[in-house]
Amino acid sequence: MEKDEFLDIADKKITSNSNDSNKSQVTSNELKTNDKGLSLSPDPLLVTRYSLLVTDKVTRYSLRSLFLSLLFALLVTGCALPRIVVLDDPLSAEEHVNLGVAYERKGELADAVEEYKKASKNLPRAYLYMGNAYMQMSKPEEAEKSYKKVIKKGPDDPGSADAYNNLAWLYYTRGENLAEAENLALKALRLAPAKENYLDTLQKIRELKAKNGL
């Protein structure tokens, strides 16, 4: 069939459909043919192949555009390589403390201290655990600093009672600052009167003071 004849048949078909108000509009899924059986709709197979070709072309174009954009960005920044993004600490302060306690129970005190340090950024009580670890490592000066940090951050917090007691006990074991040690033990008892070990610390300090004539 000639091209002009084909277009003429198509025009007549469209005009006929548009003039008949009682006929519904032909959808894209319906097959339209002329009197010679020539399909006026594109070959579905050809449509599929064409769609794939177009999709492939668009994909390649998009990838090429992305590559060129990245290349341009690298050139503008002086060909610097992309930097590695370091994520925030995935563990919470409490989880660092728990991990530190696990290390401490295994006798790995240095690792325990490192975990307590990480936790102390958001959890002041971690300094208490740190001080206890330092005591086991025979580092009383570091332990003293740690206990004092707990007390400084929460002087009237019941959660600081252990720090008061442990610092008092540290002074007792070293036989120094006994007057201050007694006050620390009293403060611990005021914050947590039910703790019997605080009372024991106070009694031992007073006994040592009496022994030394203080």
Q: Could you tell me if residue 184 is inside a domain?
A: yes
Both tokens assigned to 44: 């579905």
CA–CA separation, 28 vs 15, rounded Å? 17
Q: Model pTM?
A: 0.58
C-alpha neighbours within 13 Å on the C-beta side of residue 16:
9
**Residue type at position 126:** A
Q: Could you tell me if residue 176 is inside a domain?
A: yes
C-alpha closest to that of 168 among 194, 142, 189: 189
**Residue type at position 132:** N
Q: Could you tell me if residue 124 is inside a domain?
A: yes
Helix/strand/coil for 33: strand
| Confidence check: pLDDT of 58 > 80 | no
State residue 68's pLDDT score: 58
Domain of residue 187: give its range: 154-214
Which whole number is the average pLDDT over 121-127?
Answer: 92
Helix/strand/coil for 39: strand
Both tokens assigned to 199: 């009372």
- Let me know whether 172 and 208 are in one domain: yes
CA–CA separation, 40 vs 8, rounded Å? 12
Q: Could you tell me if residue 202 is inside a domain?
A: yes
CA–CA separation, 128 vs 163, rounded Å? 6
| Confidence check: pLDDT of 113 > 50 | yes
Number of domains making up the chain: 2
Residue ending a domain, among 83, 116, 144, is 144
